[in-house]
Amino acid sequence: AGTLDSKHALGSGDEARAAPQLNRSPSVEELEQMPETDLGGGGDDTRLKASGAGGDAGERASSPSVRFSVDIQEFDNKGDNGDDDGGGDDATDNLALFQNDLKSRPRVSRLLSNLMHGGGGFEGNVELEPALKQSEGTKMGTIAGVYLPTCQNILGVILFLRLTWIIGEAGIVQAFFIVLTCCCCTLLTALSMSAVATNGKVPAGGSYYMISRSLGPEFGGAVGLLFYLGTTFAAAMYIVGAIEILLLYIAPGMSAFGEISTREEHASALQNNFRLYGTVLLALCGMVVFVGVKYVNKTAFLFLFVVFLSLIGIYIGAWSSPRSSQPDVCLNANATYVFPMDCAAHGGQEVRGIPGLGSGVFSENAGSNYCDGSGNNGERPGCDEQTSFTILLAIFFPSVTGIMAGSNRSGDLADPSRAIPLGTIAAILTTSTIYLTCVLFFGGSIIGELLRDKFGESIGEKLVVAELSWPTPWLILIGCLLSTIGAGLQSLTGAPRLLQAIANDDVIPFLKPFKVGSGPTNEPRRALYVTLLIAELGVLIAKLDAVAPIVTMFFLMCYAFVNLACTLQTLLQSPNWRPRFKYYHWVTSTVGLVLCFALMFISSWYYALGAIFIACVTYKYIEYKGAAKDWGDGLRGLSLQAARYALLKLETGPQHTKNWRPQVLCFCSLNEGYAPENPQLLSLIYSLKKGHGFALFTGHVRGDFVRMADEVDMATRSLKRAVEEAKVKGFVQVVSGKSKADSYSYMVQGAGLGGMKHNTIVLEWPETWRNRSEEMDVFINTVRVATAHDNAVMVPKGLAAFPSAGEQRDGFMDVWWIVHDGGMLMLLPFLLRADKVWKKTTLRIFTVAQMEDNSIQMKKDLELFLYQLRINAVVEVIEMESHDISAYTYERTLQMEERVRMLKEMKLTQKESQMDLSLIVKAAHETPRARTASTTSEDGGGGDAPSADGSSSSSSSSSSSSSSSSSSSSSSSSSSSGGGGGGLKPSGGGGGGGGKPQNENVRRMNTCVKLNKLIIEHSKDSELVLVNLPGAPSSNLADADVNYMEFLEALTEGLPRVLYVRGSGKEVVTIYS
């Protein structure tokens, strides 16, 4: 096997050297006569094949090459055939080195087959799944799928119904600038869209897909929903425009509500007709779309052909301007107003309304002539409302907003990455040329008075642009009608697909019903129904000029974020940003972004604010209610770059005291289901949120990580779920190791990154440390490591009694300040009381004064110090008297040392010690008096107990020597400070084995008992007590550790909720601003 593996690993040049080791050693001549083999090429058939395949079996069996092939076959049969890609498969034989990987990872050939041809069975990267889920319907190319729909959407209602009026009001110069600005905006957006669209495969959703994958689900969902509404209202706008053409200029006799005209007295009847016939036309268009997109595409060719014929007729009419077919208009004496009535009766003069390009009206129409809204239809037709540059800009912009008609149907395109940029840019250049030339032709061939006549009242309520056409106005009327209907069909085709794409991503929960499609091509029928209902709302407005600004805002918001997506991706230089379209730059995208927002507020600031408000509400809704998605969007990349910059910046120098905040590494004990055993610990961390630091929650899974990887992942998810339920902002990392203490030590040393490393350790108090020595070892070792790592330590004791999140407490929060540790005991109560749980508590700070201290001056100094720290608290200075060590202290110390001694004498193993420790502790508690009496009798002291320095004294005496007082006082100070922990000595040796407690242990226990008595006296009913945590013993001997735990138990005995705090020694508060 080793020989064959070597052969497979070798290239073709080594085959001759590997072959002789099999079966027998062929000669060089035999090897040269062997046929060519493919052992490493990765082809479909990689086994060696004998020459002369057409011969009989005997000849093949006698050939050395045949025997060589048979040997390989025998080795194949002995291989591991336990999986689909295991031994026995030709490709796997050639890839034996990667045999284990092939069990979970596909071969390249299999990957490409599934990806390119949609085969089943691939379970690779989820980012490839959209490419595999595309419908198998008829795919369209660039012309039919993008260019024609985009041209048809752009060349819509505004061109034929409002462009002449815009030119008459704004003048040729300003009108040309309006059109040029709008076209530049769409062209810059198309360049950005082309770059984004060619940076990978674009499935259904078009612009929404591009924005959401570039800016994230929140922005994508918000802007996608606005774009959907814009497309839907655009369909309504086109429908209303088609009905206006039909009723006013083609068939006015179809009115169902009496006489119709543009006069004010007939406005109500006109709008009711718009609503009625608009609803009917909308239903007909919906039926066409319902049948299928292919029928919309078939009608698009016909409609667009008629539109191009109409444009040709306009150009010919502008050049020729035959007088016989064009109307005359009547002007008054000042030649400023048009009269629709009898010209002679009003002293007017008949003039030619469309004199042509050579008439010289171009210079007359160059300037603007805006309407102030004060005129009436009898004096100046069309001057029924105030106009301005910004108003006309808002009305015109929807005429160029069809640039995404092709991208909306990206799921129906054969090659979206090629068709979208090519077809969209070609359509924009074509339509922009048409719009700009029409501005020049209309302004140069039609007199200004007729241009300003919006509804053609001065020429018998005829369409002005139709009168310019050659050879007949009906060419324009039919072309205009078909153009608006075609644009409406395109909008109704794209909008449902856009809504279905948003629903498929599950980012907006209430859109889930619209995921369902119909038929083999997955037609969005449900989305079509709701689209028709929303479009009906626009039809009911029944006023083209009122619907247009709404469409403008929605589209501009979408265009702005397309430009933002391109700018962001370009500046971030993400490795995945590799668009095939190269004609873009972040400067052009930024200009397009600024231009879109500028046009929004120039057109209508209140509509702009409304669109932004809808986007913000949708964004927040998706953020809190939508499904979490990670699409590798640009905003996450931006956050990564910002985080990287900030982390590198934080490394430039040490952190200042004013910037210190608790950055917590919290160790959570996990139960069998990997959930936190004490959820109140998470609530405590939540109460520190006003510190605005980060929190890292960690747990431990016993065992080697390679074998326990699944359990670690399960524990991570469970702990993360608990953290999210507690509404704590933080991170989760569960580690595994053979020892819990080692895992905790590794986390203290290695967690965090740069300036975002933790500075505070939160560790649960081991409530069962007497029965489980391992918990004690983990606790003390972690405190040691945290101290060595210059981390502060917080140890909540009595976690079961701590309040849950939202459970308010009203009482006292007491701080017992024994030694100064950098101000942690001052800062933590301030942060805790910023949360609603502790907000109503009253802060009290207690400090201990020795006999030689001036307690009155200490209180004044402490009050001034807190005032300068801007912390409101009640100050109490407690005098700690020096007196003889009590019999209780002596007995408790003796019990503590006796337990350690008994464990040593029994010489139990660690496992046995954990099993029997509870019985030993119980026995030690049952007979303390007897052991004490026995010990004192042996010492000859009768009823006397030895003092701290070893001399005999009466237990009931209240007097003490000066040396004893001094010794007791120094012991208190030493045990309270962090450095005193290093002095703890084991109870073995000395007097420990003979029934006498060690002098140092007695003094420390004396401090604990006396402090506990003071704390119980003043803080027994307090909601929370914060007290200094003494330093852990520097040695890791078992008796020193047990003694340390006993001291801590004695210090806070009888208190329901305690928070031990040990600062790092670095200052965390300052009195300076």
Residues 168-192: what's their mean pLDDT?
A: 94
This prediction's pTM = 0.63
Q: Which of 130, 197, 222 is nearest to 631 (CA)?
A: 130
Q: Which of 267, 276, 483, 446 is nearest to 362 (CA)?
A: 446
Residues 566-593: what's their mean pLDDT?
A: 88
List CB contacts of 329: < 8 A, sequence separation 6 or more: 338, 350, 351, 352, 353, 447, 449, 450, 458, 459
Cis preceding-peptide flag for 149 (omega within 30 of 0) = no
pLDDT single digits (tens) 904-953: 665 454 445 444 444 444 444 444 444 433 333 334 333 333 333 333 33
Can you give the pLDDT at residue 528? 93
Of residues 504 and 34, the one with the higher pLDDT is 504
SS3 string, 210-227, reads HHHHHHCHHHHHHHHHHH
- Least confident window among 44-58, 260-274, 338-352, 869-883: 44-58
List CB contacts of 538: < 8 A, sequence separation 6 or more: 232, 233, 235, 236, 237, 239, 240, 547, 550
Task: Say if residues 411 and 202 touch (Cβ distance below 8 Å).
Answer: no
Can you give the pLDDT at residue 7? 37
Task: Say if residues 382 and 459 touch (Cβ distance below 8 Å).
Answer: no
Residue 198 predicted with pLDDT over 80: yes
Task: Say if residues 730 and 682 touch (Cβ distance below 8 Å).
Answer: no
Q: Which of 956, 943, 1050, 957 is nearest to 1005 (CA)?
A: 1050
Can you give the pLDDT at residue 122? 43
How far from the centroid of its chain's Cα atoms is residue 711's Cα?
27
Amino acid found at 769: W
High-pLDDT (> 90) share of the chain, %: 22
Residues 595-617: what's their mean pLDDT?
A: 91
Residue 11 predicted with pLDDT over 70: no
CA distance 493 to 523: 10
pLDDT single digits (tens) 819-864: 888 888 888 998 898 888 998 999 999 988 887 778 888 888 888 8
Can you give the pLDDT at residue 916? 44
Task: Say if residues 204 and 400 touch (Cβ distance below 8 Å).
Answer: no
CA distance 794 to 269: 78
CA distance 103 to 82: 10
Question: What does the DSSP assignment read for 716-729?
Answer: HHHHHHHHHHTT--
Q: 253 by DSSP, 3-state: which?
A: helix
CA distance 753 to 755: 6
Of residues 790 and 67, the one with the higher pLDDT is 790
**Lookup result for tokens 């009917």:** 280
pLDDT single digits (tens) 767-826: 888 887 788 889 999 999 999 998 999 999 999 899 887 788 889 999 998 888 888 888
CA distance 265 to 260: 9
Can you give the pLDDT at residue 572? 81
Q: List 331's β-bridge partners, or say none.
A: 338, 349
Can you give the pLDDT at residue 903? 60
Residue 60 predicted with pLDDT over 70: no
Residue 75 predicted with pLDDT over 60: no
CA distance 207 to 561: 10
Can you give the pLDDT at residue 182? 94
Task: Say if residues 225 and 502 touch (Cβ distance below 8 Å).
Answer: yes
Residue 955 predicted with pLDDT over 70: no
**Lookup result for tokens 């002291």:** 941
pLDDT single digits (tens) 284-302: 999 989 887 777 777 777 8
CA dihedral in degrees (666, 670, 674, 679; nearest 10)? Answer: -70
Can you give the pLDDT at residue 756? 80
Task: Say if residues 165 and 438 touch (Cβ distance below 8 Å).
Answer: no
Residue 719 predicted with pLDDT over 90: yes
pLDDT single digits (tens) 237-254: 989 999 989 988 898 888
Residue 752 predicted with pLDDT over 90: no
Task: Say if residues 665 and 761 touch (Cβ distance below 8 Å).
Answer: yes
Burial of 344 (0-12, 13-18, 19+ CB in 10 A): exposed
Mean per-residue pLDDT of the chain: 76
CA distance 560 to 189: 8
Can you give the pLDDT at residue 635? 66
Q: 1064 by DSSP, 3-state: which?
A: coil
pLDDT single digits (tens) 515-552: 888 878 788 999 999 999 999 999 999 888 888 888 88
**Lookup result for tokens 């407005």:** 541
Can you give the pLDDT at residue 423? 92
Burial of 27 (0-12, 13-18, 19+ CB in 10 A): exposed
High-pLDDT (> 70) share of the chain, %: 73
Q: List 667's β-bridge partners, or say none.
A: 698, 763
Q: How confident is the model at residue 374 (pLDDT cuts 50, 70, 90)?
A: low
pLDDT single digits (tens) 306-342: 888 988 988 888 887 655 556 778 776 555 556 655 6
Q: List 352's β-bridge partners, or say none.
A: 328
Can you give the pLDDT at residue 765? 92
Q: List 697's β-bridge partners, or say none.
A: 666, 732
